[in-house]
Amino acid sequence: MRLTRAALILLPALALASCDETRPRPQPEPSEELSFPAADRPVATIVSARWSTEEARDRLNEADTVMNRADIRPGMTVADIGAGEGYYTIRLAQRVGKDGRVLAEDIIPEVRDALAQRVARERLDNVSVRLGEPDDPRLPDNSFDRVFMVHMYHEIEEPYEFLWRMRPSLRKDGLVVVVDANRETQNHGTPPDLLKCEFAAVGYALVSMRDMPSAGGYLAMFKAQGPRPDPASIRACPNRGLPSPQGGATPQGDE
């Protein structure tokens, strides 16, 4: 199921502004319908835009630890997918500074609107807020140094299509940063082997994976490797994350 494509909403200091047409747009996909495998696993329901309170997360130094490990620096451009109430959006904006950019995205209009109001209220001129789609983040090509996916991967109904469409948005040395819990997807987590297998099926290589109790589970980082595969060649991973007979091997590189 697709939602209607939404325009990019840029937020200056005091009010929401119209779309910035100077920003790069995603290249159009081929006219023929593309077919992706269905995920061989349950999908968690979206129950809340909040994983925990911001105060509790800050007491554990969660955001700073994740941003340090992801090497977030001033001047970077970062996407925060499934941004929710904006815990990472706000802190990423502070870290990348006035010369950086943060694009925050959610698929629920009411959540997106509430975050847009927060960004305007806090006068974060380097943040834009956007409505995404369940199977396509619709990110502009070659635009992001990092793409954050924090406690939301298990809610993606079409992970292979989502990851496939997200790939072109990464810059040459761009990384996807995933934070999730080590439990079954229906219980609002993603087993690490399953995560690695699904990313590998779409041509991402694992850069690192580390336990991170302060963020409720683990931190994994991936990079795009080689050409983007033809959708017809992608094979769904078994629920436990083991490589299927037609699929590639689980990547190495865990920390």
Examine the pLDDT at 13 and tell me if it is beyond 90: no
Q: 3-state SS of the chain: helix, strand, coil percent to 5?
A: 25, 20, 50
CA gap 118, 198 in Å, rounded: 34
Examine the pLDDT at 106 and tell me if it is beyond 90: yes
Q: Once rounded to an integer, what is the mean pLDDT over residues 10-21?
A: 34
Examine the pLDDT at 30 and tell me if it is beyond 60: no
Q: Once rounded to an integer, what is the mean pLDDT over residues 22-51?
A: 64
- The length of the chain is 255
Per-residue pLDDT tens digits for 41-94: 888 776 544 456 888 888 888 999 999 999 999 999 999 999 999 999 999 999
Q: What is the pTM of this model?
A: 0.80
Across all residues in the chain, what is the average pLDDT? Answer: 83
8 Å CB contact between 180 and 189:
yes
Confidence of residue 240 (pLDDT cuts 50, 70, 90): low
Question: What single DSSP character describes residue 176?
Answer: E
Per-residue pLDDT tens digits for 195-236: 999 999 999 999 999 999 887 799 999 999 999 999 999 999
Q: Once rounded to an integer, what is the mean pLDDT over residues 151-178?
A: 96
Going by C-alpha positions, the residue among 103, 91, 99, 87 that lies closest to residue 67 is: 91
In this predicted structure, what is the pLDDT of residue 32? 54
Confidence of residue 40 (pLDDT cuts 50, 70, 90): confident
Going by C-alpha positions, the residue among 235, 175, 242, 228 that lies closest to residue 206 is: 175
Q: Once rounded to an integer, what is the mean pLDDT over residues 116-122?
A: 97
